[in-house]
Amino acid sequence: MSNRNFVALRTIWIKECTRFLRIWVQTLVPPAITMSLYFVIFGNLIGERIGQMGGFTYMEFIVPGLIMMAVITNSYANVSSSFFSAKFQRNVEELLIAPVPNWIIILGYVGGGVARAMLIGVIVTLVSLFFVDVHIHSLGIIVLTVLLTSTLFATAGLINAVFAKTFDDISMVPTFVLTPLTYLGGVFYSLSLLPEFWQWVSKANPIVYMVNGFRYGFLGVSDVNYLTSLGLLVVFNLALFAVAYQLINRGVGIRH
């Protein structure tokens, strides 16, 4: 990477980080409050009635899934709202005419989403310590899984912003796609509880692999092979980056 490209990448990344840190009350506090409610309701109140799951208390079992849910939501939301705002205000065109490669633009915006997601992940993890002792089976798998997942959904958020024509279009995918897939992605239950047919159906949900790969990093247990989870994350990331690059390169939704 040339020095000029590095400066451009760092500038976009710093701008994106400054953007969500400036309004930290709106970007960092709500996930902590929301996850605290999940811990209280699903962990303490309902969890005591459920008992153990996968050899762990219910609270211990759902913590990795709740952290991953916060990471997915915030990485997606950060880039989709930021890039669409830049497109809406027409200042993204300044980037397109600047001597900056399109892949640098993508990495800059995605990097901002990853930074917010990682910070949210740390905050939610710290909040969970008030409710349960967090186990760490493999720190490397935890970091790798959360990094690949946040990158994936940050890229997906950029693609959503490219096609979006109004601010309402930004909220449609999280509401009608991400939320159902996340709740059905094994955050609150083990796939082993489902009938065999629905286990196979659930494995068509990509979030199942992200949640279980992340859970393996914490607890050492997973409904799917963690290597499969990591492999799929790499493939999905490469595929979405290629799509995002082609869209930006062709000026879809940007050039008129």
The whole-model pTM stands at 0.92
Structure tokens given for 177: 């796609």
User: Is the separation of the CB atoms in 106 and 245 below 8 Å?
Assistant: yes
**CA–CA separation, 111 vs 79, rounded Å?**
9
Angle of helix 58-88 relative to helix 102-128, nearest 10 degrees?
Answer: 150
> Contacts for 178-185 with beta carbons within 8 Å, 24 or more apart?
178/72, 178/73, 178/76, 178/153, 181/205, 181/206, 181/207, 182/69, 182/72, 182/73, 182/207, 185/65, 185/210, 185/211
How far is Cα 195 from Cα 103, in angstroms, rounded to an integer? 44
Q: What is the mean pLDDT of each run of 10 residues along the chain (256 residues)?
A: 85 94 92 88 75 83 93 94 88 80 94 96 93 89 96 96 87 88 90 89 93 94 93 96 93 70
Separation CA 48–CA 140 (nearest Å): 31
- What is the pLDDT, as a whole number, of residue 255? 61
Max Cα–Cα distance, the chain, nearest Å: 60
Q: In the prediction, which pLDDT does 115 show? A: 97
**What pLDDT shows up at residue 168?**
83
What tokens does 243 get? 């799509």
- CA neighbor of 19 nearest in space, from 78, 106, 104, 98: 78
Question: Do 63 and 158 form a contact (C-beta atoms < 8 A)?
Answer: no
Nearest CA to 69 out of 117, 135, 136, 26 is that of: 117
CA angle 217–118–53, rounded 5-degree value: 35
Which pLDDT value is given to residue 71? 95
Q: What pLDDT is stored for residue 1 in this prediction?
A: 67
